[in-house]
Amino acid sequence: MSTLELHGKQMIGQSIAAAGEAGLYAANPASGERLQPAFHEATQAEADQALAKAAAVFDDFRARSQQARADFLEAIAEEIEALGDDLLTRAGAETGLPQQRLSGERTRTVNQARLFAQVVREGSWVDARIDRGDPQRKPMPKPDVRRMLMGIGPVVVFGASNFPLAISVAGTDTISALGAGCPVVVKAHPGHPGTSELVGRAILRAAQRCQLPDGVFSLLQGASHELGSALVRHPETAAVGFTGSLKGGRALYDLAVARPDPIPVYAEMGSINPVFVLPGALAERADGIAKGYVQSVTLGTGQFCTNPGLVLGLRGQPLDEFTQAVQEAAAQVTPSTMLHAGIRDAYRAGMERVRATPGVAVVGESAAAADDAKTQAGVSVFRTDEATLDANPHLMDEVFGPSSVVVDCQSPDGMERIARGLDGHLTATLHGTEADLRDYAALVRVLERKVGRLIFNGFPTGIEVCAAMHHGGPYPATTDSHFTSIGTAAILRFARPVCYQGFPDAALPEALRNRNSLGLWRLVDNELTREDC
């Protein structure tokens, strides 16, 4: 079967199933064209089978060496590359995203898999801790206690619509869960079922090449809430990864916490990513910041979790010059295709609600008209003031798409007051001089409590996949501020400690034996070391 001959069916481990109706089609948002084939919607029984298979192979999969799991992640990267440009063609047709962007996203996706492979192969992420016993200790002998992280169990992943490769079927949730030793059941995003099938097949080929047990990965298609709900409620599901809307993430969270045995839901639900343009920076380079800002707002047609939706600056001539530059940059933005008509409609409604708010003015818009037939959106930047923002809290809600609001603050205190009133966000950005940073140190302290990542003189879009990245933040940015969904620390979501007391060396997992044959960094009697013990 050529890569583009899609079967439109469920992949329950290595088995193909199609008990449900074949009623799900992808559509090309740039043309409105319905794309073939029809995809079967997964049934509840198929969801059961996928999770039963995942649960059945969990012990086998987690017992594989870290080396074996790393090989699997690298094989996934290779198999995705082997799909060639057919993958980008299908992804472009299903999402309207340009080929260049998708090519870059594919690079990020395979690099991400290879980076996790390195982390898993090196192995110290298991946080091995050894406290050696002392039978002579008084008044009580000291037991030998050792612990390490181990995979939490079968993980259900909900693919995101806006990154059809990097945060979807073989995205950060799947890769980090597999790396931790957890079987994965993905519910494909209904916006790109064909892309999902192609990537799912690549993962299954990789699993076969690596001789992994059948059930380590499954892919289900479907658009219904019932399917998502069944997956979250399933007794074998141990954790859930999700990237999407606040409404969707909260619904899954509410289901998970109401289970007889609650499970964690790691939902990344977006953010308005406020940008603070401080006076020194505004005086020095209003024009450059304005251009960078408009570019960041419109990246991916504003469909990133990190597009900046709010700018705060001090009222006055420098801010007027900034908005003038925004106006000029915005005019040049060519409208582009959104992921699908539903998102475009929601964007338009949100944007119109901002526009209709008394006290809000349009600052800049694309000069060219958006083509409705191509599901396009142009940029819209608005301007308002503190009092209007106070009176209209909805201006702080995320409008998913290329829209943003500039707020004239009365004073530094006003700016800090608005910061204090912020909900949790993924990021906050400061543009400033080093003197600004000193003058606004209190603002930085406030923002540390509000967000997961603070950016200085940059923009929040363009997330570096690395060890120090934190793509998370207090609710409602995510449902669990302890964890990141991007970067290598994402693996920690899907592992929990298991502790062994008094075990003979030979019966311990290799990572915890006296001889450190894996060369891990381990905390031995409170000292970090790579030595044997």
111 bridge partner residues:
none
The region of 170-178, 310-318, 407-415, 466-474 touching a second copy under the rule CB under 8 A is 466-474
Asked if 531 touches a second copy (CB under 8 A), the answer is no
The residue whose two tokens read 């597999």 is 178
394 binds a second copy (CB under 8 A): no
Query: Exactly one of 268, 365, 386, 398 is catalytic; which is it?
Result: 268
Catalytic member of 94, 236, 305, 416: 305
Residues in the chain: 533
**Residue 480 sits in the site that holds a second copy (CB under 8 A):** yes
Among positions 248, 496, 510, 533, the unique one binding a second copy when judged by CB under 8 A: 496
Which CB sits closer to a second copy, 438 or 515? 438
124 binds a second copy (CB under 8 A): yes
424 binds a second copy (CB under 8 A): yes
Nearer Cβ to a second copy (84/458): 458
* Chain-centre distance for alpha carbon 139: 51
- Cis ω for the linkage preceding 476 (within 30 of 0): yes
Count residues near a second copy (CB under 8 A): 78
Q: Which is nearer to a second copy, 288 or 497 (CB)?
A: 497
131 interacts with a second copy by CB under 8 A: yes
Among the listed residues 67, 99, 111, 118, the single contact to a second copy using CB under 8 A: 118
Among 21, 85, 99, 142, binds a second copy (CB under 8 A): 142
Q: Is 468 in the site for a second copy (CB under 8 A)?
A: yes
Binding of a second copy at residue 437 (CB under 8 A)? Answer: yes
Residue found by looking up tokens 């003197």 in the block: 435
> Which 228-257 positions form the footprint of a second copy (CB under 8 A)?
253-254, 257
Residue with tokens 């409008």: 399
Beta bridge partners of 429: 275, 455
Sole binder of a second copy in the list 135, 247, 358, 526 (CB under 8 A): 526
Q: For strand 265-268 and strand 239-243, is the pairing parallel, antiparallel, or unpaired? A: parallel
Cα separation, 503 vs 521, whole angstroms: 21
* DSSP-based three-state secondary structure for 33: coil
**Residue 532 binds a second copy (CB under 8 A):** no
**Does 285 sit near a second copy (CB under 8 A)?**
no
Q: Nearer Cβ to a second copy, position 338 or 422?
A: 422
Q: Is 268 noted as a catalytic residue in this protein?
A: yes
3-state DSSP assignment of residue 137 = coil
Q: How far is the CB of 19 from a second copy (least distance, A)?
A: 28
Q: Phi and psi dihedrals of 153, rounded to 5?
A: 135, -175
- Phi then psi for residue 384, to 5 deg, are -150, -170
Task: Decide whether 204 or 252 has the Cβ nearer to a second copy.
Answer: 252
| 3-state SS assignment for residue 83 | coil
CB burial of 240-271 (b: ≥16 within 10 Å; e: otherwise) equals bbbbbbbebbbbbbebbeeeeeebbbbbbbbb
What is the rounded CA–CA span in Å between residue 216 and residue 518?
A: 24
Residue 305 annotated as catalytic: yes
Among 89, 114, 481, 533, binds a second copy (CB under 8 A): 481
* Binding residue for a second copy, selected from 63, 283, 362, 367, defined by CB under 8 A: 63
Task: Quote the strand ranges of 7-55, DSSP E.
Answer: 10-12, 15-17, 22-27, 34-40
Q: How far is the CB of 38 from a second copy (least distance, A)?
A: 38
Burial class (CB in 10 A: 0-12, 13-18, 19+), 381: buried
Least distance (Å) between residue 140 CB and a second copy: 7
Please report, as residue ranges, which positions from 2 to 21 form the binding site for a second copy (by CB under 8 A). Answer: none
Q: How open is the CA angle 483-256-263, to the nearest 5 degrees?
A: 55
Smallest distance, a second copy to C-beta of residue 276, A:
14
| Closest separation in Å from C-beta 532 to a second copy | 16
**Which residues carry out catalysis?**
268, 305
